[in-house]
Amino acid sequence: MTSVLDLAPVVPVVVLDDVADAVPLARALVAGGLPAIEVTLRTPAALDSIRAIAAEVPGAVVGAGTVISPAGVADAVAAGAQFLVSPGWTNGLLDAMKASGVPFLPGVSTTSEVVALLERGVSEMKFFPAEAAGGTAYLKSLGGPLPRARFCPTGGISLASAPSYLALGNVGCVGGTWMLPDDAIASKDWARVETLAREAAALRG
């Protein structure tokens, strides 16, 4: 599979409480040009939602986010997740992600964590929580000493701030939720989600 960082400029970070919303939401995102969809393992509906999207939405590349244990890795892959994203990492979690057979983005927020992942042969990672951890200035400062590391910054990023991240040479894509407003999900306004997805897909650095 193409690197997760290269599928689209924006990866929607989806929290689903109702499995019935999974397929229409994913179809709207794919139609809007955002095929990589991160479904977070924060709700009881998450694994069934991943399963439904993987089975019923052609063109979607569905992944699991908030993966924080080896058991979570196994459950996500069994449900059909095509990539994995964690907010942070440990050696045990990294070993499980490496053994999963699918691409993964372990989370980092410090230089030492980035160096440790590079030492383990991992050069693609999630930078989280992006805004709170230093934003574009921090990521730009990592580019000189750590040029092999590439990032998907996630956390507090908006339509307005995304272009400044995407302009950085060590950023492949950003994660965000702004194309998934709560009121649109509650009212099942999938046309609005598709419009917002299309706007996000058009972003370039």
Indicate which residues carry an active-site annotation.
38, 126
Separation CA 99–CA 73 (nearest Å): 9
Which CA distances in Å does 52 have to 10, 20, 60, 175? 22, 9, 11, 22
Separation CA 34–CA 99 (nearest Å): 27
Separation CA 48–CA 29 (nearest Å): 18
Pairing of strands 150-153, 174-176: unpaired
Select from 4, 45, 3 the least CA-distant residue to 25.
Answer: 45
List, in order, residues 6 or more apart from 53 with CB less than 8 Å away.
Answer: 22, 23, 26, 37, 39, 60, 62, 80
Separation CA 138–CA 125 (nearest Å): 15
In this structure, what token pair is assigned to residue 6?
């290269």
